[in-house]
Amino acid sequence: MNSLPIGIFDSGIGGLTVLRAIRDRLKSENLLYLGDTARVPYGTKSRTTIERYAVEDAAFLVEKGVKLIVVACNTASAMARERLREEFDIPFLTVLGPGARAAARQTLTGRIGVIATEATIGSGAYERAIREAVRNEDETRAIEVFSKACPLFVPLVEEGETDSDIAKQVAVKYLAELRDRKIDTLVLGCTHYPLLKGVIAETMGNGVTLIDSADAVAEEARILLARLDLLNDDITSNYSRFYVTDAAGRFHRIAERILGAPLDHLEAVEIWGHDRLNTTATN
């Protein structure tokens, strides 16, 4: 059981920022990554559609026999978390809570910005999670949360345009109003956005700390697996396997650049209809 892989999914390549952090922190864990590249982006779709995609993603990973699923997509975390918990009897970790808690710990002024997809911002899930995290630390503390949807960031990242003039122009367009809000902490509320960190940091200027939830998620995964007595201590044959729903060649190129290492196993798969599988608990 302990040597079963951790399943990680995202709409595309963004979740690789989370996989990278998990791989760094939990070196002996086996990992399966699913990028739903045929249907990216999720962030412009309706709740019903995002729920269906997330259930199909999770069902695919459950069928592969994972011991934990990390939803490395804020959009799926915000829109489909309850649905996933209803449908599957397996531990889930989403990126939204760890990011919100990290922001609550970081801010000094209580002025926090959140950037994410339209669906995530529209759901209000980050603002609720940040307020809850701050309340848990200090009930009397006043905070203000300023949210901004940045829909063009995901296609820019999927195109590998992470440091170009176009990326800079788009960042200035989206982030100007957050600069005026005098925030001291900015949550990168989409797993694609850490790949634009340089451009975002330059646009926001000094004095604003960017929160990338990947490290916080990796640490929470370690704590959760330890609590469930599911950590893998066999370091002899560790693997990371990658699955995509389309355009494997493109994913291959970009993923190797992001991870800084060759991919041992990459496979194109069809996951449609996986929500109708009879998925049983694997622990």
| Residue closest to ligand DGL (Cβ) | 43
Minimum CB separation of residue 126 from ligand DGL in Å reads 11
The answer to whether 112 and 143 have CB atoms below 8 angstroms apart is yes
Nearest-approach distance from CB 14 to ligand DGL, in angstroms: 3
162 vs 282, which CB is nearer to ligand DGL? 162
Helix (H) or strand (E) holding 59: helix 47-64
Between 5 and 12, whose beta carbon lies closer to ligand DGL? Answer: 12
Distance (Å, whole) CA 75 – CA 10: 9
Which residue lies nearer to ligand DGL by CB, 43 or 91?
43
Output the smallest distance, CB 238 to ligand DGL, in A: 25
Residue 210, both tokens = 């960017």
Catalytic annotation present for 150: no
The residues that touch ligand DGL, with contacts defined as CB under 6 A, are 10-12, 14, 40-43, 73-75, 117, 120, 154, 190-192
Q: 4, 22, 68, 73: which one is catalytic? A: 73
Exactly one of 31, 190, 218, 254 is catalytic; which is it?
Answer: 190
What DSSP assignment string belongs to 183-209?
-SEEEE-STTGGGGHHHHHHHH-TT-E
Distance in angstroms (rounded) separating the CA atoms of residues 251 and 131: 36
CA distance 142 to 45: 33
Residues identified as active-site: 73, 190
